[in-house]
Amino acid sequence: MALIEFSNKGLCCLQGKFYIDPWKPVDHALITHAHSDHARWGSDSYLCHTLTLPLLQLRLGNNNYQKIEWEEPIFINGVRVSFHPAGHMIGSSQIRVEYKGEVWVISGDYKTEDDGISGKFEPIKCNVFITESTFGLPIYNWKPQPLIFQDIQDWICKNKEDGKTSVLIAYSLGKAQRLMPCVSAVTDNIFVHGAVWNAHQAILKAGVPLPDVKLVSNEFSKEDYRGAVVIAPSGAESSPWLKRFGDYSIGICSGWMQVRGNVRRQNADAGFALSDHADWKGLLEAVKETGAEKVYTTHGFQAAFSRYLNENGIQAAEVKTEYGDEESPEALTEEPKPEL
Amino acid sequence: MNQFAELVRVLGTSTKTNDKLDALANYFETANDKDKVWVIAIFSGRRPKRAVNSTQLATWCIELTGLPPWLFEESYHVVGDLAETIALLLPEDDLARASHSLHHYLETLLSIEKEHESIRKQFIVSAWKSMNRSERFVFNKLITGGFRIGISQKSMVNALAKSIKLDPSVIAHRISGNWDPVTTSYDELLSEQASAADHSKPYPFYLAYALEDEVSSLGDPVEWQAEWKWDGIRGQLIKRNNELFVWSRGEELMTEKFPEYATLRDILPNGIALDGEIIPSQNGRPLPFALLQTRIGRKNITKKQLIETPITFFAYDLLEKDGIDIRGSLLAERRVLLENIVKQVNHPALILSSLISYSTWDELSNLRKQSRNIGSEGIMLKRRNSSYQVGRKRGDWWKWKIDPLVIDAVMIYAQKGHGRRSNLYTDYTFAVRDGDKLISFTKAYSGLTDKEFAEVDSFVKRNSLEKFGPVRTVKPQLVFEIAFEGIAASNRHKSGVALRFPRINRWRKDKRPEEINTLEDLKKMLEIYGK
């Protein structure tokens, strides 16, 4: 019996009698982070990082929650469990599971670059590493954050000059907050969509400082929005909700914007490849630093990534999970996720 | 190169035509003259010859990155564009880069065309190293061709007109024809004084819109001239300075491709430009487009081909006579002159595209039903008192095509698309039924909305049976109505037929795969329409 089994409800530790990010209701769920494909409704109890808790409350309402700090070990039915920063979004964690000297690490979603708000990704030595591979192809290599922030700021300033509103499309939970320091460096005039507003309030409540923003509403006129920045979740870019802004320009912030065709398909004026997932180099680095003897790759380009690892002397296999990717354009329309 | 890369970026992503025009006009005001000449050349379809091919580019990229070839392939299928794949895969080093100008790269590329492969490789690799990602993308794109700029030649002409004091139609004429961006200067091409030194230049084609309203909306039938619409290559036949030039609408010089035209040089009057259709015919009856395709791009033509598929020119308009541009005169007047010339030349390769005589719209509607029988795809309606205009204009010329042929088929293969359809399954192969087997007979890439494509894409992802490289075999379940303009026999296709311009007409969600058409139905169509 392996320490972690891949069951039809999700990643399961039989010895510890708990599941990690289960996609069906279970008794004990350990949650890596608050995105909806990892934190699902219906379990009896949830264990998550302190900063994840208010976000789970926002998403799932009141439940039996228990919180834990990073690097704070607890024992569950004799299995040693600890949470470690994953750098994906506020509160996002990798989960380390140890029993009788064998160590497994479940990455959840992660990125290796420190974005200044999600906590710095920490590589953990282990025997088996279960890694995401959303962007597991070598075409995905991100520009460093300061450079891509510069691109976004230049774009905002250009729009301002032209008297246009800059509408930035970013996932409401995580990406939208990551953009705040970038945007607030060039303007105080920031509006947000209701979904972003809710996440914003929840995160403020958790004690994380964020700049002042205004909720887009009918109180404001086109004149108020001129030259301002609006942050809205994906899906908004093709809705009549945008009409209130008069003359505007749309910029989509997502790793998928790395490929030109995606930018054009979504009729965006600009695409910024700003992702909360590790790029190709990040994934390889992370895998190497764990020193794992065996790697399981999940969601994304897991087939290509595991084949590449195998060819480079790291034993790897792909695992099908039901995790999606909050950045994928498909996620907007509730389409089934691609299986590759 | 950076300025050009930025221009391409704006043209490729901007969703508003005015932004694109501004970007172009701004480019023409600020870029250096040599680069501008190249941009005009590129945007009007004049690409530098391929000094290296796609396979070489891919191989050198694989060598530089040290990636396994299968991973390069995998990446390519996700990106859907070779030039972009390479640009994304090449390492971005932090060395201070200084890219050269656009014309430097293009002209160097031309100059090493005949050199040993190692020299060409050295140039490409060092060029890559001198560029950032977006520069590499446009550079690769220039080499691989198929550059969809996201702007029409007409828009470019308008942008040019904005920055120089010339009429758009004058610019359109100046940049047409046979000029070489290496030896032509910006001033020669576009200054007010420049004389049209090049005597091969065709006129910009006048293009018709499809008639969507009732034909009676055009008013009095007496005002309209009706002709059959031919399915060949639109072209201009020009003789000036005792030289003959045949241009296609894509402004490709085709004089040498069709030896049938050579004899016309000696008998056509000098200083003449005819507008018409390049099309094979026997005894004045056009042959299917599929036969024309057997002649296009073939260097060595056999005697048999010359006899079986003789290329002719169906003339329907006269644009220049005795060296004088007569596009401003009335169609009715031009027609009389044209008829005289064709009669006087009296050569089997030059055929007068005949007029259809009719007196009421009802009568013409009835005649239109015979189109397919005489090898035509419908009717052209031209206002008798119209001048010959530039580009696609509404009002005086209409094409009134017959409804396409249709057949119900099931999708059996799917492949990911390119460009804005990258990473989406949008290219499909369809089959008809033959007993208990399915026989593939055509591919089609267009005709669905973005929403429908997304729906089919998700079906393909959930229902693929096998994977052959980029192609997925799909559970034969989705039924589509395929429309096409013509059908011809083909021994290169398993089904024995080749379709002309196949596309998806609609998704037949109301039909089950058991209800699709059969191979027998296709063969019947071939019997009726394909001979």
Angle (CA) A281 A283 A288, round 5°: 95
Residue B195 pLDDT: 52
Interchain proximity B420–A270, CB inside 8 Å: no
Residue A287 pLDDT: 97
pLDDT tens by residue, B60-94: 999 999 999 999 999 998 998 999 999 999 987 65
Do B386 and B327 belong together in one domain? yes
pLDDT tens by residue, A130-152: 999 999 999 999 999 999 999 99
Percent of chain B past pLDDT 70, that is, above it, reads 96
CATH code of the domain in which B432 resides = 2.40.50.140
Percent of chain B past pLDDT 90, that is, above it, reads 53
pLDDT tens by residue, B377-422: 899 999 999 999 988 888 899 999 988 899 999 999 999 887 777 7
Do B229 and B339 belong together in one domain? yes
Residue A149 pLDDT: 97
pLDDT tens by residue, A69-95: 999 999 999 999 999 999 999 999 999
Arithmetic mean of pLDDT, A3-12: 93
Distance of CA A248 to the CA centre of its chain: 27
Do B377 and B283 belong together in one domain? yes
Tell me: pLDDT of B179 over 70.
yes
Interchain proximity A139–B78, CB inside 8 Å: yes
Interchain proximity B75–A308, CB inside 8 Å: no
Tell me: pLDDT of B432 over 70.
yes
Tell me: pLDDT of A309 over 60.
yes
CA dist B211 and A326 (Å) reads 46
Domain encompassing residue B46: 2-144
Contact in structure between B502 and B484 (CB atoms under 8 Å):
yes
Average pLDDT, chain B: 88
Tokens of A272: 């910024």
Residues linked to residue A316 through DSSP beta bridges, in sequence order: A295
Do B385 and B446 belong together in one domain? no
Tell me: pLDDT of A181 over 90.
yes
CATH superfamily of A5-139+276-333: Ribonuclease Z/Hydroxyacylglutathione hydrolase-like (3.60.15.10)
Tell me: pLDDT of A328 over 60.
no
- Judge whether B229 counts as a catalytic residue: yes
CA dist B44 and B32 (Å) reads 18
Residue B94 pLDDT: 59
Arithmetic mean of pLDDT, A325-332: 49
Contact in structure between B47 and B142 (CB atoms under 8 Å):
yes
Query: So where are chain A's domains?
Result: 5-139+276-333, 145-272
Helices within B130-218 (DSSP H only): 133-144, 153-163, 168-174, 186-190
Interchain proximity B424–A265, CB inside 8 Å: yes
Tell me: pLDDT of A13 over 60.
yes
Residue B476 DSSP symbol: T
Tell me: pLDDT of A335 over 50.
no
Tokens of B272: 């003449």
Interchain proximity B81–A304, CB inside 8 Å: no
Interchain proximity B458–A335, CB inside 8 Å: yes
Among the listed residues B34, B36, B141, B229, the single catalytic one is: B229
Do B379 and B437 belong together in one domain? no
Residue A329 pLDDT: 43
Chain A contacts of B418, Cβ < 8 Å? 261
pLDDT tens by residue, A263-275: 877 778 899 999 9
Tokens of B24: 């172009």
**Closest-approach residue (CA) in chain A for B472:** A340
Contacts of A89 (CB under 8 A, 6+ apart): A33, A34, A35, A109, A118, A173, A174, A175, A177, A178, A276
Residue B154 pLDDT: 76
Among B370, B401, B432, residue at a domain's last position: B401
Interface of A with B in 185-224 (CB under 8 A): none
Do B298 and B386 belong together in one domain? yes
Residue A337 pLDDT: 28
B201 within domain boundaries: no
Do B363 and B475 belong together in one domain? no
Tell me: pLDDT of A330 over 50.
no
B168 within domain boundaries: no
Chain A contacts of B80, Cβ < 8 Å? 259, 261
Contact in structure between B128 and B65 (CB atoms under 8 Å):
no
Let me know if the fold of A5-139+276-333 is the same as that of A145-272: no
Arithmetic mean of pLDDT, A175-201: 95
Interchain proximity B13–A259, CB inside 8 Å: no
Residue B422 pLDDT: 76
Contact in structure between B127 and B103 (CB atoms under 8 Å):
no
SS3 per-residue string spanning A168-221:
EECCCCCHHHHHHHHHHCCCCCEEECHHHHHHHHHHHHCCCCCCCCEECCCCCC
Tell me: pLDDT of A68 over 90.
yes
Number of domains in chain B: 3
Q: Is A13 helix (H, G, I), strand (E, B) or coil?
A: strand
Residue B95 pLDDT: 59
What is the number of other CB atoms lying within 10 angstroms of the CB of residue B371?
A: 17
How far is the CA of B509 from the CAs of A305, B440, B457, in angstroms? 37, 20, 15
Do B306 and B336 belong together in one domain? yes
For chain B, state the CA radius of gyration.
Answer: 25
- Give the residue numbers in B contacting A (CB under 8 Å), as ranges: 12-15, 65, 67-68, 70-71, 74-75, 78-81, 84-85, 88-89, 92, 137, 418-424, 450, 454, 457-458, 461-462
Chain A contacts of B422, Cβ < 8 Å? 259-262, 265
Does residue B188 or residue B139 have the better pLDDT?
B139
Contacts of B63 (CB under 8 A, 6+ apart): none
Arithmetic mean of pLDDT, B26-46: 89
Looking at the partner chain, which of B71, B418, B458 has a beta carbon nearest the beta carbon of A304? B71
pLDDT tens by residue, B248-293: 887 777 887 888 898 899 999 999 999 999 999 988 888 888 788 8
Do B226 and B367 belong together in one domain? yes
B244 within domain boundaries: yes
Strand order in the sheet with A74-76: A74-76, A79-85, A93-99, A102-106, A128-133, A294-300, A315-318
Selected for mutation to probe chain B from A264, A322, A325 (highest B CB count within 10 Å) is A264
Q: Please give the model's pTM, rounded to 2 decimal places.
A: 0.76
Residue A326 pLDDT: 64
Contacts of B292 (CB under 8 A, 6+ apart): B232, B233, B278, B279, B280, B309, B311
Most confident of A177-181, A217-221, B294-298: A177-181
Task: Please tell me the class of the A145-272 domain.
Answer: alpha beta
Do B213 and B125 belong together in one domain? no
Residue A339 pLDDT: 29
Residue A333 pLDDT: 31
CATH code of the domain in which B386 resides = 3.30.470.30
Looking at the partner chain, which of B75, B424, B454 has a beta carbon nearest the beta carbon of A137? B75
Give the minimum alpha-carbon distance from A45 to chain B in angstroms, rounded to a whole number: 33
Residue A205 pLDDT: 87
pLDDT tens by residue, A102-134: 999 999 999 999 999 999 999 999 999 999 999
**Closest-approach residue (CA) in chain B for A252:** B13
Do B121 and B237 belong together in one domain? no
Interchain proximity A139–B424, CB inside 8 Å: no
Distance of CA B292 to the CA centre of its chain: 15
pLDDT tens by residue, B474-504: 999 999 999 998 888 888 888 899 898 899 9
Arithmetic mean of pLDDT, A242-249: 90
Residue B402 DSSP symbol: P
Interface of A with B in 50-79 (CB under 8 A): none
CATH code of the domain in which B138 resides = 1.10.3260.10
Interchain proximity A261–B454, CB inside 8 Å: no
Contacts of B327 (CB under 8 A, 6+ apart): B203, B319, B320, B387, B388, B389
CA dist A34 and A55 (Å) reads 6
Do B217 and B117 belong together in one domain? no
Burial class (CB in 10 A: 0-12, 13-18, 19+), B156: buried
B42 within domain boundaries: yes
Percent of chain A past pLDDT 70, that is, above it, reads 95
Among B401, B418, B450, residue at a domain's last position: B401
Helix, strand, coil: what percent of chain A each, to 5? 30, 25, 45
For chain A, state the CA radius of gyration.
Answer: 20
Does residue B116 or residue B531 have the better pLDDT?
B116
The pLDDT-based confidence of B333 (bands split at 50, 70, 90) is: very high
Strands A65-68 and A74-76: unpaired
Tell me: pLDDT of B165 over 80.
no
